[in-house]
Amino acid sequence: MKIALLAPIAWRTPPRHYGPWEAIVSMLAEGLVCEGMTVTLFATGDSLTNGQLEAICPTPYEETPEIDAKVWECLHVAHLFEQASRFDIIHNHYDFLPLSYSRLVKTPMVTTIHGFSSPKILPVYQKYNQTGHYVSISIADRYPQLDYCANVYHGIDLKLFSFNDNPDDYLLYFGRIHPDKGTYDAIQIARRLGIKLIMAGIIQDHDYYQAKVAPYLDQNVVYAGSVGPEPRNTLLRGALALLHPIYFDEPFGLSVIEAMACGTPVVAYNRGSMPEVIKDGETGFLVGTLEEAVAAVKDITRLNRSTCRRWIEEQFSKERMVEDYLRVYRTILQ
């Protein structure tokens, strides 16, 4: 099977530090290669893959200020569709824009919807609903007026996350510094408990950071910046718990399964996909308020960290994700 994977070009594939969509595309590409598929990855020129790399955008636009994102995303998407006949199937991870090309070629295209950035993009998905093949990443993230051919939960490479049954005495916040992610709430939870908090992630909202994060930074509230794979594993495995007090209906939440892969339970606000990703009372706690989160952390040591690891091994491995997508491709090509 000849498969074209269309990755975003905001970050490298795989990302150096941040880039969840790119991370998933990379894991899928390498997994498909291992399964004997002929894989062509359309990504930035500095991307890494054991498949064939096709690139027209030399470097990620988030890391290259002189690059105009709109210009290069148009060139990037067109670069694939101009050679669509080479492939048995196109797998789009680039949101809605490639859908507008899909009826111009004969090669079928499957689109993984990594979340809806705004209701304003829905008209594109609705227009191509009858001819597109949509995959959701959680049941919670499905839009009722769209048809889906499958739900495929993200998977991770478990070799990158080492289990630890003897955590340190700190809490971890791992995600974008943004109101949606509840960074301020994580700080307040840790302060009420008198437990050290380490935060890691890109600063996506600088005003929010200056108003709600920076004033609280001290020896007990530490911002570690945006970290790459090795320090990520160290931070995740060492934490008493991951705090995930989200203020939006998160489509999935990679950091949540990454934490549990290390044995670290998660305390999350019960929104979006969280009930699908966390086994409440077994691999973490789903809560509704800051006060409930504080109480949950106090109870966190009663959870078995090995249960967290087994849950991820059983449900969220890279291998399971690859097999699920192969099943989608084969169904479409029947």
C-alpha dihedral over 323, 137, 131, 144, to 10 degrees? 140
Alpha-carbon span 331 to 334, nearest angstrom: 5
Q: What is the pLDDT of residue 117?
A: 84
pLDDT score recorded for residue 26 = 98
How far is it, in rounded angstroms, from Cα 135 to Cα 133? 7
pLDDT of 31 reads 97
For domain 158-315, the CATH class is alpha beta
Q: What is the DSSP letter of 60?
A: -
Give CA angle at 153 (15, 75), nearest 5°: 45
Dump pLDDT digits (tens) for 68-97. 999 999 999 999 999 999 999 999 999 999
pTM: 0.94
Give residue for tokens 């908090």. 197
**pLDDT tens-place string over residues 104-136:** 999 999 999 999 988 899 999 999 999 999 999
The rounded distance, in Å, linking the Cα atoms of 328 and 334 is 10
Distance, C-alpha 279 to centroid of its chain: 19
Residues of each domain in the chain carrying CATH 3.40.50.2000: 2-155+318-333, 158-315
DSSP code per residue over 179-196: GGGTHHHHHHHHHHHT-E
Given a contact cutoff of 8 angstroms between Cβ atoms, the answer to whether 224 and 196 are in contact is no
CATH of range 2-155+318-333; options 3.30.360.10, 3.40.50.2000, 3.40.50.300, 1.10.580.10: 3.40.50.2000
Pairwise CA distance, residues 80 & 56, whole Å: 10
User: For residue 2, how many other CB atoms are within 10 A of its CB?
Assistant: 13
The full length of the chain comes to 334
Closest by CA position to 20, among listed 311, 295, 253: 253
* Bridge partners of residue 174, in order along the sequence: 200
The parts of the chain modelled with pLDDT lower than 50 are: none
Measured distance CA(37)–CA(322) in Å, rounded: 11
Q: What is the pLDDT of residue 64?
A: 94
| Sequence-ordered list of residues with C-beta below 8 angstroms from that of 258, at least 6 positions apart, any chain | 156, 161, 174, 232, 236
